[in-house]
Structure 1
Amino acid sequence: MSVSEIQQAKKTVEFSRESLEAVLRGRFFYAPAFESYGGVSGLYDYGPPGCAFQANVVDLWRKHFVLEEGMLEVDCTMLTPYEVLKTSGHVDKFSDWMCKDTKTGEIFRADHIVEEVLEARLKGDREARGLGAKPVEEESADKKKRKKKVKEIKVVKLEDDVVKEYETTLAKIDGFSGPELGELMVKYNIGNPVTGDKLEPPIAFNLMFETAIGPSGQLKGYLRPETAQGQFLNFNKLLEFNNGKTPFASASIGKSFRNEISPRAGLLRVREFLMAEIEHFVDPLDKSHPKFDEVKDIKLRFLPRDVQEAGATEPVVKTIGEAVASNMVDNETLGYFIGRIYMFLMKIGVDHDRLRFRQHMANEMAHYAADCWDAELHTSYGWIECVGCADRSAFDLTVHSNKTKEKMVVRQKLETPIEVTKYEIDLVKKLFGPKFRKDAPKVESYLLNMTQDQLAVKAKELADTGKITFSVPEVEGELELDDKFVTIEERTRVEHVREFVPNVIEPSFGIGRIIYAVFEHSFWSRPEDAARGVLSFPPLVAPSKVLLVPLSNNKELQPIVSKVSTTLRKAEIPFKVDDSGVSIGKRYARNDELGTPFGVTIDFDSVQDGSVTLRERDSTKQVRGSIEEIIEAIRQIAYKGVTWDEGTKNLKPFVSQEAK
């Protein structure tokens, strides 16, 4: 089969999630954790092929980003004290919106329930109009998994303006706040999709797992919801390690934890998962990137916020260079990492046509972020966010610096000294103790850490009224100081060193979600036998590279099996021997399900002339050559990225005597 024939074969048999899951669970790529005890929703174990595939994806991620970009990798603790996550905003804001059935006590995630019900009504409308089922690519995330719980969809024709309103609402679903979701539930009369019972208004549910550190239980903590905070808190050490130079990037790979409200969709929404995150620290006045030319001509499918706000989902196709030049993407460094994310996803087997980059809408994006794009992959569950790429400005380092009183800044020696005019505040500290008593240090700290914008406002207030009023966290009531206590004025100084808090560009990868999307993008069934599933993993990330198949258990073949095994082992090429009594065709078929890209057959001709047969998984093409020639071809194709035709051009075509 040619490449085009393989692509056609993949389209011939309709994709079946049930068939894929049967393969993934049957071959122990993964399984529900604690299954013997009934399992726990949102927790999964990886089996041998799943572990190997994940390890290969992580290894490629590390080479593609950490090694190629010269990043500084750290491994930080998963247990995180309360104060760290309070400062970062996670304690107050790391939440999803949930609503409860007042009768059954069942919990629903608010955005999912709105999405589910509106999708169901639109499906009923399509059926009433005789338009048939909605195309798979338009179905929303988690919808198919939840269908079994939804009462029978009413086939009712909707007014055209209602259909348009529903579609617009669904296009904006990621941007609604909790109260807005509650208003939608009232407006569209959305209740429990099974019973129809009323649901309580949405309330925020913090997704972090709380724990106590130490035997006393007095040190409150959490299992980290991301790997980023450890990187921010080690910024000064990393900057020193990098000889004080910016830009530079840190990277971290490790487990994170989120107490999902209602985990569904298998590996896509879990409570414990592997993350790979990058924090690229850059000068806020210069967000250009020296390697931007390497990605500027990559053409991608973008879904910018203005398209979403108009209620549409049709992507805009542009090169990364065009996206940055038009200010659709905020800056070169952000655009560069979007390009690198795309290149990585292509290497591990993501389907180019099922990838888009969606921009966060204004009410969806953190207030401090300059821009944020999600790499979304299409699966049978709909479009799934798998990678986030955000310009987080200077927020993280600033809040941790303010809290700990430890400066997290870059000091840049200036070739030419410059005059800098800025507001400065002076405190008459001897008066603070009698006035504020035990709260005096908190008040002083608050005033001394005000930003230039805050100082400008307070300087005007002090000049106009002779006093300033303000509030300090953890100090009760509004506070007031007059000019006996404080002076705020603009001063001009000559500076020889520029001091700045770097901005952060953060690509964040959900490895489990990416892996599942690759499973779907790689899975197909052979047209001649739909029961024969194939996982067409790129050889570089396939769990095992070679299936070693002796024609029979005849003792004459064993020395050749041992020789090939030893040669593969020395070449560090993962392989598996299958000497079971079933036919070669069946042995190959069950390893096609494991995604094994190559098969090496040892027969009685191998005993005579030392030659073996090499089979390619997708096309089932076979060639013949010496052991050394075959293994070199495998090495070139699997690790050097050469094509099958190029890697086997010096080998002889071979026609099997048995069904392939």
Structure 2
Amino acid sequence: MATTTTKTGQPFDRDVLDSLLRRTGFYMPSFEIYGGEKGLFDYGPPLTALQSNFVDLWRKHFVLKEKMLEVDTTIITPEPVFVTSGHVAKFADFMSKDPKTGEIFRTDHLIKQVLGARLKADQDARGKTIEVEKPDEPQKKKKIKDVKIEKLDDAVAQEYNETLAKLDNYDGEGFKQLIEKFEIKGPTSGVDLDPPKPFNLMFQTYIGPSADKPNGYLRPETAQGQFLNFQKLLEFNKQKMPFASASIGKSFRNEISPRQGLLRVREFLMAEIEHYVDPEAGKKHDRFEDIKDTKLTLLNRHTQLAGSEKTEVMTIGEAVANKVVDNETLGYFIVRIQDFLLKLGIDPSKLRFRQHMANEMAHYAADCWDAELYGSYGWIECVGCADRSAYDLTVHMKKTGAPLVVRENLPEPRKFKEYQIELNKKKLGPKFRKDAKAVETAVEELSQDMREKLSLDLKDSGKITIDTPSIGNGKTELEKDLISIEQREVTQHVREYTPNVIEPSFGIGRILYHLLEHTFWTRQSAEATDEPSARNVLSIPPLIAPIKVLIVPLSNHADFKPFLRQLTSTLDDLDIANSIDDSSASIGKRYSRNDELGTPFGITIDFQTVKDKTITLRERDSTKQVRASQEDICHTIEALVRGRETWEQVSKRLPEFTSQEVD
């Protein structure tokens, strides 16, 4: 377990938080009465409300503020879409199998946790059995066999640390070499593991009753549905560029070893943005000047490749100017992501942006930065911000012929020279038969530089050779009776181009879990009572807290009921989530129970309320109280939950109330 502390500096205990979350109904294992299923969880009322508030804030922060076009596309996706996008071939993680026990591990996680365990056991003697975390299952402790638990010398320890720093840059063969080099065995059996092999993470499914084999997938992301609707979205946006689409919805990934609670699950909610830009405009952003002085904590790829995880704090303006971050639009969204996470209540000291290394980069990405959050599982990717270049629109356009392009009327005609190709299709068809279309496609895709080179070859030797990967040995020869390449002057009235895409992608469940870790702490009570002296608190910001206000009547006295009805009605009209606890427990205990749910404010109705219609307002973190009229308190709560006022301001404006809360 990674070393971490609460907001008060106390050691963080994941087991205590997990017990709280399960006991208070934040979440529970799916199908629990049937034994459950790994990687699947149900959200209870508090976490469902927290997620709904997250989505509402996300829409306001991104969709409304940036004038995005929100869409809702289908989860079930025909196979050809993901074949074209590259997901069928490349959307995979590497797994390692223990041949003796049959256990399967995600290879990078296994290496990371074994090397981490050895570093922690650095002072133990050779051959001694030590208690370490079972790989991929931090909640359970188990004595495991490991031949490399002796005291490490400085060079070996440094090599372990350098390997861990750049682990994401390894492929299957690289993982195999690391396993052999560091003698990593089956965690419980101690035998050699099978070689790492890729495992595609997509769930297959059948579409229609006549399908005799899987012909579709559950989407692993929402992006492809947005790309396929690009032309319609461009029309909806009146052909104006740049613009962005956005989507919030369920995605599915068949995780190899989902053993990190809510962080690694097989069904999850995502929020994704596809921001379309003109590549000739240099991917500039018209509001970059507004955010250029914002400071970020960055871990670039060069530092990682050097075997270090040392971060650097710099402004996004400096990062873009120095090409640490590739362009303004990518930098703009990285800042907007940081602003959003901090608004949620994420601890800024536990947030960093890490750049992907070359081998780690998704097949479609030109550059990518992850917003990583630190918690008891270490640094975890929670938001990705990728420059997908023009990959997706280009491959879908080539496959379907759909015009996924922008056509822009030029203010003045543009004249230029280009190399144009003409094929003699009357001869091409009979010569290549079924391969004629593949040859034609390969010719059309030739760049201007390649066309210039081939025109010289054709002139010199009367023939050219082009790459045709799907035909024969991958090369095809064309003689001058089949093809001509000439440079001609072209007058262009309409510019046609394929946009590039900047994509911020949010794993909502992962962010919410880290929010719960970052806001969890324990209040020590100085009172001598029959209740536990340590009380758990979730300091979830009022903006997204599941319940904003707890209403506590001093007792079930009949005189209190009209005030209860009036208060709940007023708060309901203000769209402020509230609940009533009129149980027989003490006021202190009732407040304490709701501190565990993250409820930021509490109202107490007492006999003074009956006399003068005033009520007390309690703030969760400080337990301080103020007293005022019902009208004043309700308006104050509205200002607090909308972010228009802080508790510090309220406590200066309204009279302090110094008694009432009793255990």
| Alignment TM class, shorter chain as reference | over 0.9
TM-fit CA distance, 1:495 = 1.4
Distance verdict in 2 for CA 1:438–1:603, change over 3 Å: same
Residue of 60, 64, 82 corresponding to 2:61? 64
Root mean square deviation of aligned Cα: 2.3
Distance verdict in 2 for CA 1:418–1:167, change over 3 Å: same
Distance verdict in 2 for CA 1:483–1:107, change over 3 Å: same
TM-fit CA distance, 1:499 = 1.5
Contact 2:135 2:187 in 1 (8 A): no
Matched to 2:587, the amino acid is I
Matched, 1:507 2:504: yes
Residue of 578, 587, 590 corresponding to 1:587? 590
Matched, 1:239 2:234: yes
What pairs with 1:9-24 in structure 2 (closer than 5 Å)? Answer: 10-24=7-21
Distance verdict in 2 for CA 1:17–1:460, change over 3 Å: farther
Contact 1:12 1:527 in 2 (8 A): no
Matched, 1:267 2:270: no
Mean Cα displacement is larger for which, 61-70 or 210-219? 210-219
TM-fit CA distance, 1:440 = 3.0
Contact 2:345 2:540 in 1 (8 A): yes
**Structure 2 SS opposite 1:469:** strand
What pairs with 1:246-261 in structure 2 (closer than 5 Å)? Answer: 246-261=241-256
Contact 2:364 2:392 in 1 (8 A): no
Q: In the alignment, which residue of structure 2 is the partner of 1:83?
A: 80
Contact 1:141 1:383 in 2 (8 A): no
TM-fit CA distance, 1:458 = 4.1
Rounded to whole Å, the distance in 1 between the matches of 2:135 and 2:154 is 24
Contact 1:545 1:596 in 2 (8 A): yes
Rounded to whole Å, the distance in 1 between the matches of 2:533 and 2:178 is 43
Matched to 1:233, the amino acid is L
Rounded to whole Å, the distance in 1 between the matches of 2:363 and 2:210 is 38
Distance verdict in 2 for CA 1:153–1:526, change over 3 Å: farther
Kindly provide the CA deviation profile for residues 386-435 of structure 1, in whole angstroms up to 9, marking residues without a partner as x: 00001111111111111111221112222232222223221111123212
Distance verdict in 2 for CA 1:620–1:554, change over 3 Å: same
Matched, 1:103 2:103: no
Matched to 2:187, the amino acid is P
Matched to 1:491, the amino acid is R
**Structure 2 SS opposite 1:285:** helix
Q: In the alignment, which residue of structure 2 is the partner of 1:562?
A: 565
Rounded to whole Å, the distance in 1 between the matches of 2:656 and 2:402 is 68
**Structure 2 SS opposite 1:263:** coil
Q: In the alignment, which residue of structure 1 is the partner of 2:536?
A: 533
What pairs with 1:341-380 in structure 2 (closer than 5 Å)? Answer: 341-366=337-362, 369-380=365-376
Q: In the alignment, which residue of structure 2 is the partner of 1:187?
A: 181
Matched, 1:230 2:225: yes
TM-fit CA distance, 1:583 = 0.4
**Structure 2 SS opposite 1:492:** strand
Higher relative contact order (CA 8 A, sep 6+): 1
Distance verdict in 2 for CA 1:161–1:640, change over 3 Å: closer
**Structure 1 SS opposite 2:634:** helix
Kindly provide the CA deviation profile for residues 574-611 of structure 1, in whole angstroms up to 9, marking residues without a partner as x: 00111010001010001000000000000111111111
Kindly provide the CA deviation profile for residues 467-500 of structure 1, in whole angstroms up to 9, marking residues without a partner as x: 3334546555543321211222332212122221
What pairs with 1:82-231 in structure 2 (closer than 5 Å)? Answer: 82-126=79-123, 144-145=138-139, 147-148=141-142, 150-151=144-145, 156-218=150-212, 220-231=215-226
TM-fit CA distance, 1:46 = 0.4
Contact 1:141 1:381 in 2 (8 A): no
Distance verdict in 2 for CA 1:639–1:12, change over 3 Å: same
Rounded to whole Å, the distance in 2 between the matches of 1:141 and 1:618 is 37
What pairs with 1:489-504 in structure 2 (closer than 5 Å)? Answer: 489-504=486-501
Matched to 1:635, the amino acid is E
**Structure 1 SS opposite 2:310:** coil
Q: Percent identity?
A: 59
Distance verdict in 2 for CA 1:213–1:613, change over 3 Å: same
Matched to 2:312, the amino acid is V
Matched to 1:264, the amino acid is R
Rounded to whole Å, the distance in 2 between the matches of 1:232 and 1:318 is 33
Q: In the alignment, which residue of structure 2 is the partner of 1:292?
A: 288
**Structure 2 SS opposite 1:314:** coil
Matched, 1:522 2:515: no
Kindly provide the CA deviation profile for residues 85-115 of structure 1, in whole angstroms up to 9, marking residues without a partner as x: 0111100000000111122221111111111
Residue of 288, 299, 305 corresponding to 1:303? 299
Contact 2:114 2:135 in 1 (8 A): no
Q: In the alignment, which residue of structure 2 is the partner of 1:425?
A: 421
TM-score by length of 1: 0.94
Contact 2:353 2:371 in 1 (8 A): yes
Rounded to whole Å, the distance in 2 between the matches of 1:614 and 1:465 is 90
Residue of 611, 625, 630 corresponding to 2:628? 625
Contact 1:422 1:452 in 2 (8 A): yes
Contact 2:462 2:480 in 1 (8 A): yes
Q: In the alignment, which residue of structure 2 is the partner of 1:4?
A: none
Rounded to whole Å, the distance in 2 between the matches of 1:603 and 1:533 is 26
**Structure 1 SS opposite 2:209:** coil
Rounded to whole Å, the distance in 1 between the matches of 2:593 and 2:452 is 71
Residue of 374, 377, 395 corresponding to 2:391? 395
Matched to 2:174, the amino acid is E
Rounded to whole Å, the distance in 1 between the matches of 2:22 and 2:116 is 29
Structure 2, gaps ≥5 residues long: 526-531
Distance verdict in 2 for CA 1:155–1:433, change over 3 Å: closer
Matched to 2:269, the amino acid is L
Contact 2:535 2:592 in 1 (8 A): yes
Contact 1:417 1:495 in 2 (8 A): yes
Matched to 2:49, the amino acid is A
Q: In the alignment, which residue of structure 2 is the partner of 1:551?
A: 554
Contact 2:147 2:183 in 1 (8 A): no
Matched to 1:546, the amino acid is V
Rounded to whole Å, the distance in 2 between the matches of 1:452 and 1:169 is 42
Contact 1:545 1:573 in 2 (8 A): yes
Matched, 1:276 2:271: yes
Q: In the alignment, which residue of structure 2 is the partner of 1:411?
A: 407
Contact 1:10 1:525 in 2 (8 A): no
Q: In the alignment, which residue of structure 2 is the partner of 1:3?
A: none
Rounded to whole Å, the distance in 2 between the matches of 1:584 and 1:570 is 26
Matched to 1:629, the amino acid is D
TM-fit CA distance, 1:364 = 1.5
Distance verdict in 2 for CA 1:210–1:650, change over 3 Å: same
What pairs with 1:313-352 in structure 2 (closer than 5 Å)? Answer: 313-352=309-348
Matched, 1:577 2:598: no
Mean Cα displacement is larger for which, 147-156 or 323-332? 147-156
**Structure 1 SS opposite 2:320:** helix
Contact 2:100 2:189 in 1 (8 A): no
**Structure 2 SS opposite 1:526:** strand
Matched, 1:605 2:601: no
Rounded to whole Å, the distance in 2 between the matches of 1:547 and 1:475 is 71
Rounded to whole Å, the distance in 2 between the matches of 1:222 and 1:325 is 42
Distance verdict in 2 for CA 1:188–1:464, change over 3 Å: farther
Rounded to whole Å, the distance in 2 between the matches of 1:269 and 1:208 is 14
Contact 1:119 1:140 in 2 (8 A): no
Kindly provide the CA deviation profile for residues 25-70 of structure 1, in whole angstroms up to 9, marking residues without a partner as x: 1111111100111111000100001100000001100110000000
- Corresponding residue pairs, total: 647
Matched to 1:28, the amino acid is G
Matched, 1:616 2:624: no
Rounded to whole Å, the distance in 1 between the matches of 2:632 and 2:533 is 34
Distance verdict in 2 for CA 1:392–1:459, change over 3 Å: farther
Rounded to whole Å, the distance in 1 between the matches of 2:587 and 2:351 is 37
TM-fit CA distance, 1:464 = 4.4
Rounded to whole Å, the distance in 2 between the matches of 1:262 and 1:246 is 42
